[in-house]
Structure 1
Amino acid sequence: MRAPLRMAACAAAISCALPAHAALVENLTTSVVAMALGNAVTADPPGIDSVHFNPAGLARLDGDLTQHTAFGASIRANATFTRPDNFDIGGWKDDPISGTSTGPMRQAMYVPTYGMPGWRLPGVVVPTLGFAWHNPDSKWTFATNSYMAQAISLDRTTDPNDPGRFDGRQVQLQRLVYASPSFGYKYSDTLRFGAGVPIAHSAFVVDTQMRFPNQLLGIFGNLQKGWCPEDGGNIIDVFGFGLCGGGKEGMVSPFKTAAAMRLEMTAPVDPTLNLGVLWEPAPWFAFGAVYQGGSKTRYTGKYEFDTQPMLRNFVKGLNSSLFGPVAGAILGLPQYIPEVQKGNMSATIAFPSHVQVGVKFKPVKYVQLNVDASYAHWSDWNQLVFEFDQSIKLLEVARLYGIPDSTKLKIPRGYKSVVNFGYGLQLFPFDGMALRFGYEPRKSSVPLNKIDLIAPLPDTRLYSVGLNWRINKSYELNLTGSYMKGKFDAPAETSDNMNSTKFLNIIYNPYAGHDVAGDIKVRYFGFSLVEHF
């Protein structure tokens, strides 16, 4: 095909892909080369990183290789809480978080076998290592690589009064592939196949303070204010339902901190399957496809609930009255709530399967364009179910809201599966040098009516630049810098996971009735040094 026709084919590919959709957290820190090209590398798999993006690309390697990679990333997610004119939570209108904003954010990394370190940094630095082996006379290439397949790290512990503490003081979700035995097979000069088995260590940590700005709590609180003296004592109440028996600390408010929760779980060995194909019928065109299998990852770990005096004293007062225990039994309320309750827990959380296809166009010697489309099955995250080794007394209070099983915590998510497009451009000004540019518009898998501060991931745009420098026959260097940004605006009542005031929607809407606006920014820098033997 002549160069003008090839250029026309490239333009057609771009125009077809413009209504782009996107992903959640996959491929954000996986490969230095892929990030530089907007993760559009399925038809031009990047060396040892082919293990993840398309293992068929391993069959293009010659000789033995070692890849040393390191990247640094920082995440900044901000939110502002505004009280609308009609704000009312069961008669309560003065919420102390109104008009506030979240503060400083830091990152951390879960260290396998150790846990969460005590230090917090403005960003996180992660080194990885990969190997590939190929006998020049063989059609087979074998490789293994370590990489971060999935990661998000949010830490708001710097400011103890940060309003974001009610929706994730600390959130750590990561999937670190530490071994990935893989192979590529050269079927012919134009067709290659590959497969790999990434073996990952997965970590899931959520540490948050909790409050429940709910209409029913507001009504209870107002009833107490009208019935109970300021000192909390009422002799008539002792022979009633004990609404005042908890004293001043047992006075209910929808805006008080109710408890703190920490969940920390891991899945040390979680294998999946990658399958890839690469077809290169001409030097100027290639097509690639990869299937990255998912898994029902089984996590185990520990939990801790710390309940504040408000609910503890309220339940204590209720059960110290004449008719309170009867009402509590009818409503399924606990007889007491301990200050601290902890133990062992487990959860099955899906690691979504992922399909990606791509094309490579090289219309002239000095220009190459990659276009990829991908689909990740994030609809598997409709809700997360955490199972505890005992009945959680704090959750027994939720029976008021139709939640019968206090040995389980069900957190709605409501995510969706979407299609994502990525674009990569390479320029080759002279031998041994390639300049890279990437663009990836990522329409979030988190719908606006499900967004919250645990996963503050709206539609974003990822911009990247990078280069490849072939230093000599033995070494090549890849450098990449990327910037991703996005923002959201969730007026009151629009997110069922953050600011809804629906009567029974108590788990979990800590900013009920507020307009919440926020943004997220991710900065990334990485390098890889490839050694050829």
Structure 2
Amino acid sequence: MNSSSIAVPRRLAGLLAGGLALSAALPAQAGVTDNLATSATAMAMGNAVTADPPGIESIHFNPAGLARLKGTHNIDTVFIASIRNPNKFVTAPDIDIGGFKDDPINGTSSGPVRQAVAIPFLGVPKARLPGVMVPGLGFSYNAPGSKWTFGTLAYLSQAMSVDRTKDPNDPARFDGRLVHLQRLNYLSPTAAYQVSDTLRIGLAVPIAYANFAINTDFRAPNKLLGTVGQLQRALCPDGNGTVIDTLTFGLCGGGPEAMVDPFKRAANIDFDMHTSFDPTFNIGFLWEPKKWFAFGMVYQGGSDTAFRGRYTVHADPMLRGFVHGLNSSLLGPIVGAITGMPVDIPEYQSGNMSARIPFPWRVQAGVKLMATDYVQLNADVSYADWNKWSQLTFEFDQSVKLLEMARLFGYANSRQATFKMGFKSVLNYSFGTQINVTKKLSLRAGYEPRKSSIPGNQMSLLAPLPDTKLKSLGLRYKFDDGGEVNLTGSYMKGSYNIPARSDCNLNCDDFFNLIYNPYAATTVSGSLIVRYFGASYSRPY
């Protein structure tokens, strides 16, 4: 009994530290979140528009394209998107978490998913919707006879929002009740220059408001923790401690609520961070030597984004009672002092937090070919430097009591949580076709197979981002006054099946696992589905 009493705090500490860091990590940016609500024209072409950048929206895709606009123009856009993430959980037939073999999530499926929108400088409101609507606008100006064109564009360059709070018992809640990422470029001053009849260059400086929010329930299905839970059941079936227990390490001193169950919720963790001013830059060139051929390239610079916000850790009675029992016994406080454990864990602990999270740079190049006067073919290739996400570190304004329990496992600083991500940089391809039916009407189709930057053995439901395929259809209609309407509808889907014990960010059950595995010995299968509609109206004036 004595050795188990000492081992529990150590093991529980490692699990909590790994879980807290994982909950903070949110690898939701990885690859498939880009360009989902940026341009109706680009989406209809599978985002393969580097060699044929779309008007004012060239500011994002290739700012050199802005130099093709003469006079004064503006654009108004609206985007509607919905994200669905159904999951199914099936435990392995031989599941044994220290004697606990009946995980209540076995055979269950995650429920409805909603979306949220972060309002700049206000954060994420409480309202949740089955989809979100995002407006945008932009302007450009070219003086008569000048080779310079200037402009700005407000647009959403990245977005990911999954909210599972509608069902309080959703089995996916242990790996993200709410996951929200948003990068809104609210100002993007741009200058483009026409070097010659065939060559243009451009530079844009997007300035972003970025939001990063997570709320997740936490549990720790670990074999050692389960063994201690079974030991508690044997020593004190009713959950009440004994005199012997009080005179030793207080294994049962926390009462019935402190009975350890590895399948039970242990805590809830809530983070909400943002940055109000995060500039990057886009630099591009566009070469159009022939009417039937064009080549374009853009470099989108990254940044070391500094996030600041608030955190709240809500510890359930199981954890608070266990620590209370330990410190109410005769020898427990000695163990706590030696290991640096907290004297108690408050029900709620809140404060300020910060993190520097790299926004990776990316480069994209493409060609445009006019197969005939009526058929245009576009193809692009892109590369993003997701290797920067090797690890992420989060700083807290005070010692987090849960992290104080982890000092024996390399977490010496309880004001800090570090998580190793292991992301990889990937190449992606995209393709688009435009058919000019008449001088006014064009039809478009796009295809974009998106590779995820998250290795298959490191995926989690905080970032359910597998390889996906995006398919789009759209049209453009030109008016006699020079204005035009662009419409598109897109569908993106990717599926995953993560066998039990194959992913130690999700479902491993090794005895000494220190990384958060809320679905130990459980196969998790699911899909990510994004439905998108976009419309824009641009005109000279």
Q: When the two structures are superposed, what TM-score results if normalisation uses the length of structure 1?
A: 0.94
Counterpart among 254, 257, 276 of residue 262 in structure 2: 254
Shift of 1:399: 3.5
1:523 aligns with 2:531: yes
Residue aligning to 1:156: 164
In the TM superposition, what are the counterparts of 1:70-89 in structure 2 within 5 Å? 70-89=78-97
1:221-241 CA distance string (max 9 Å, x none): 122122224141211111111
Residue aligning to 1:12: none
Counterpart among 404, 412, 415 of residue 404 in structure 1: 412
Are 2:239 and 2:257, in contact at CA under 8 Å, matched by a contact in 1?
no
Are 1:33 and 1:46, in contact at CA under 8 Å, matched by a contact in 2?
yes
Counterpart among 456, 466, 469 of residue 448 in structure 1: 456
Please identify, of 153-162 and 225-234, the stretch whose mean Cα deviation from structure 2 is larger: 225-234
Residue aligning to 1:48: 56
CA–CA distance in structure 2, aligned partners of residues 229 and 28 of structure 1:
54
Are 2:98 and 2:226, in contact at CA under 8 Å, matched by a contact in 1?
yes
1:364-384 CA distance string (max 9 Å, x none): 100000000001111222232
1:469 aligns with 2:485: no
Distance verdict in 2 for CA 1:438–1:366, change over 3 Å = same
In the TM superposition, what are the counterparts of 1:310-349 in structure 2 within 5 Å? 310-349=318-357
Residue aligning to 1:419: 427
1:491 aligns with 2:499: yes
Counterpart among 306, 309, 322 of residue 298 in structure 1: 306
Residue aligning to 1:127: 135
Residue aligning to 2:372: 364
Are 1:214 and 1:506, in contact at CA under 8 Å, matched by a contact in 2?
no
Q: Percent identity?
A: 57
1:203-226 CA distance string (max 9 Å, x none): 000011111112221122122122
Are 1:193 and 1:276, in contact at CA under 8 Å, matched by a contact in 2?
yes
Give the 3-state SS of the residue equivalent to 1:310 in structure 2: helix
CA–CA distance in structure 1, aligned partners of residues 113 and 320 of structure 2:
32
Give the 3-state SS of the residue equivalent to 1:146 in structure 2: strand
Q: Residue type of the partner of 1:515?
A: T
Q: What are structure 2's unaligned runs of at least 5 residues?
A: 1-29
Distance verdict in 2 for CA 1:268–1:505, change over 3 Å = farther
Are 1:24 and 1:446, in contact at CA under 8 Å, matched by a contact in 2?
no
1:139 aligns with 2:158: no
CA–CA distance in structure 1, aligned partners of residues 389 and 323 of structure 2:
34
Residue aligning to 2:225: 217
Residue aligning to 1:355: 363
CA–CA distance in structure 1, aligned partners of residues 206 and 291 of structure 2:
31
Shift of 1:504: 4.0
Residue aligning to 1:10: none
Please identify, of 257-266 and 110-119, the stretch whose mean Cα deviation from structure 2 is larger: 110-119
Are 1:228 and 1:243, in contact at CA under 8 Å, matched by a contact in 2?
no
Residue aligning to 1:185: 193
Residue aligning to 1:392: 400
Give the 3-state SS of the residue equivalent to 2:437 in structure 1: strand
Are 2:31 and 2:450, in contact at CA under 8 Å, matched by a contact in 1?
yes
Shift of 1:332: 2.8
Residue aligning to 1:7: none
CA–CA distance in structure 2, aligned partners of residues 337 and 420 of structure 1:
47
Q: Residue type of the partner of 1:64?
A: T
Distance verdict in 2 for CA 1:221–1:403, change over 3 Å = farther
Shift of 1:329: 2.5
Aligned length: 512
Give the 3-state SS of the residue equivalent to 1:51 in structure 2: helix
CA–CA distance in structure 2, aligned partners of residues 471 and 89 of structure 1:
67
CA–CA distance in structure 1, aligned partners of residues 98 and 208 of structure 2:
47
Residue aligning to 1:28: 36
CA–CA distance in structure 1, aligned partners of residues 267 and 248 of structure 2:
27
1:59 aligns with 2:67: yes
CA–CA distance in structure 1, aligned partners of residues 534 and 37 of structure 2:
9
CA–CA distance in structure 2, aligned partners of residues 394 and 265 of structure 1:
20
Are 2:241 and 2:251, in contact at CA under 8 Å, matched by a contact in 1?
no
Residue aligning to 1:19: none
Residue aligning to 2:14: none
Give the 3-state SS of the residue equivalent to 1:241 in structure 2: coil
CA–CA distance in structure 2, aligned partners of residues 441 and 231 of structure 1:
54
Give the 3-state SS of the residue equivalent to 1:469 in structure 2: strand
Q: What are structure 1's unaligned runs of at least 5 residues?
A: 1-21
Are 1:401 and 1:504, in contact at CA under 8 Å, matched by a contact in 2?
no
Q: Residue type of the partner of 1:280?
A: E
Shift of 1:498: 1.0
Residue aligning to 2:315: 307
Shift of 1:410: 2.3
Residue aligning to 2:25: none
CA–CA distance in structure 2, aligned partners of residues 123 and 65 of structure 1:
30
CA–CA distance in structure 1, aligned partners of residues 153 and 292 of structure 2:
29
Counterpart among 180, 184, 194 of residue 176 in structure 1: 184
CA–CA distance in structure 2, aligned partners of residues 448 and 255 of structure 1:
25
CA–CA distance in structure 2, aligned partners of residues 47 and 72 of structure 1:
21
Give the 3-state SS of the residue equivalent to 1:385 in structure 2: strand
Are 1:468 and 1:478, in contact at CA under 8 Å, matched by a contact in 2?
yes
Shift of 1:188: 0.4
1:488-511 CA distance string (max 9 Å, x none): 000012112111223443442111
Are 2:71 and 2:540, in contact at CA under 8 Å, matched by a contact in 1?
yes
1:107-153 CA distance string (max 9 Å, x none): 01000122211211000000011001012301100010011111100
CA–CA distance in structure 2, aligned partners of residues 346 and 270 of structure 1:
15
Shift of 1:395: 2.0
> What RMSD, in angstroms, separates the aligned Cα atoms of the two structures?
1.2
Q: Residue type of the partner of 1:56?
A: A
In the TM superposition, what are the counterparts of 1:195-206 in structure 2 within 5 Å? 195-206=203-214
Are 1:212 and 1:506, in contact at CA under 8 Å, matched by a contact in 2?
no
